[in-house]
Amino acid sequence: MEGIESLEDMRRYQRGAGRRAATTVAASAAFLAALFFVTLTIGNYGISLGDVFGILLGSVRDDTAEYVLKDVRIPRLLCAVIVGSALSTSGLAMQSMFKNPMASPSVLGISSGAAFGASLALAFGAGSFLGSFAVPGMAFIFCFLTMGAVYLIAHTKYGVASVTLLLAGIAMGAFFGGLTSLMQYMVRDDVLASIVYWTMGSFNNCGWTSFKLAILPIAAGIAIMMLSVRELNLISSGEDQASNMGVNVKRLRIMMIVAASLSVGGSVAISGVIGFVGLIVPHIFRMIAGPNHAVLMPLCVFGGGAFMLLMDTVAKSAFEMILPVGVLTSLVGAPFFIYVMRARKKELWG
């Protein structure tokens, strides 16, 4: 810093940093909004950007286009946005809570747990007491159980060891993956198809019903995480240190597990397991904006949504066939995972 000497200098510094952060967040929100409208034009049925606005404002009459736009594309893209936001913010919260740059819902096996819960509901009607929320409800419950289990396995009185954490996640992921495969052997063909859909991760079946199902748990989860940004800052520098500065670590831990389970559960319930988004997005924004969660969390909400929109659009229109988006994020994400592992070796094993 070019010389902070007086309190006034520091006030100026703080204001400058605040302004930069606000600009970055606003830019990400604007980017998401612009991208949303652009991606509305992409698909088999051609609708120009002008027509998109025309139809939305009621000045253009085209029944087919209106149907495609309002009942197919808008809900699908909204689903992509909220799922992207949910996975990114959950990934961020996990990375900070576990003090581990490799943590994310899919790496820690949490998405697999949720997919198993959702499959249980689909195949055997488990969780019917939850009414129309049976699938996201079961996804949530299994998210919570898996995350709690991974945490308990990896946690010792000396903190969470990175290697144990990742291994615990792999083990839980494999376990629930195995159970889901087992179920695939046992069920009827039509149920099998929907379970396979779930394990691959896709927005192809997402309409308004899906959106309405997922928005509540996801919004609640993100809200909890947004309200905990200060605590996340503190806990990302160590549980003991956070506790020394007055954070109720136990309560925060439970709140974050609940919040991430709500978000991931809601996401998995409508789109299945979409891997690596929760790993990649927080990293990209941490590189851009630094580790302060007051900035990172909103960036992950907007940027995560934008990332998922982009991925989904590429998956559905860039190739001869419509790919499930989960396949694409895995193809992009696995190399990224390796990059993080090599570039951030010191943090990971340190």
Partner 1 sequence: MKLEVEGLCFSYSGKPVLEGITFSAGVGEVVGIIGQNGCGKTTLLSCINALYAPSSGEARIDGVSIRGMPKRDVAKKIAFVTQSANITFPFTVFDTVMMGRYPWVGFEGNSRERDLEAVYRAMRDTGVLDFADRPVNELSGGERRRVMIARALAQEPEVLLLDEPTLHLDISHQFDLMELVRGLAAEKGITVLIVTHDIVLAARYCGRVMILKDRGIYRIGDTEKIMLSDNLRDAFFIDADVSRDERFGISVLIVGRDKRGEGDPPGGGCGGG
Residues that bind partner 1 (CB under 8 A): 1, 3-5, 7, 10-11, 13-14, 17, 96, 99-101, 230-231, 233-234, 236-238, 240-241, 243-248, 286, 290-292, 347, 350
Quick one: which of 128, 113, 123, 129 has its CA closest to 267?
A: 113
Whether the CB-CB separation of 99 and 253 falls below 8 Å is answered with: no
Contacts of 293 (CB under 8 A, 6+ apart): 92, 96, 229, 230, 232, 233, 236
Nearest distance, CB of residue 330 and partner 1, angstroms: 26
Quick one: which of 317, 82, 127, 97 has its CA closest to 223?
A: 82
Between 1 and 321, name the residue whose CB sits nearer to partner 1. 1
Quick one: which of 283, 287, 292 has its CA closest to 236?
A: 292
Nearest distance, CB of residue 1 and partner 1, angstroms: 5
Nearest distance, CB of residue 193 and partner 1, angstroms: 42
Per-position DSSP letters for 290-350, written without gaps between them: -S-HHHHHHHHHHHHHHHHHHHHHHHHHSSSS---HHHHHHHHHHHHHHHHHHHTHHHHH-
Between 55 and 229, name the residue whose CB sits nearer to partner 1. 229
Nearest distance, CB of residue 111 and partner 1, angstroms: 23
Phi first, then psi, for residue 168 (nearest 5°) are -60, -40
Cβ neighbours, 10 Å, residue 49: 11
Between 48 and 248, name the residue whose CB sits nearer to partner 1. 248
Distances from the Cα of 176 to the Cα of 111, 112, 116, 219, 309, angstroms: 9, 6, 6, 26, 28
Whether the CB-CB separation of 103 and 170 falls below 8 Å is answered with: no
Between 71 and 240, name the residue whose CB sits nearer to partner 1. 240
Nearest distance, CB of residue 83 and partner 1, angstroms: 25
Quote the CA–CA distance of 287 and 336 in Å, as a whole number.
14
Nearest distance, CB of residue 345 and partner 1, angstroms: 13
Nearest distance, CB of residue 253 and partner 1, angstroms: 13
Between 51 and 231, name the residue whose CB sits nearer to partner 1. 231
Between 98 and 116, name the residue whose CB sits nearer to partner 1. 98
Between 147 and 234, name the residue whose CB sits nearer to partner 1. 234
Nearest distance, CB of residue 157 and partner 1, angstroms: 9
Task: Return the structure tokens found at 73.
Answer: 């594309």
H helix runs in 98-161, sequence order: 110-124, 134-154
Between 23 and 317, name the residue whose CB sits nearer to partner 1. 23
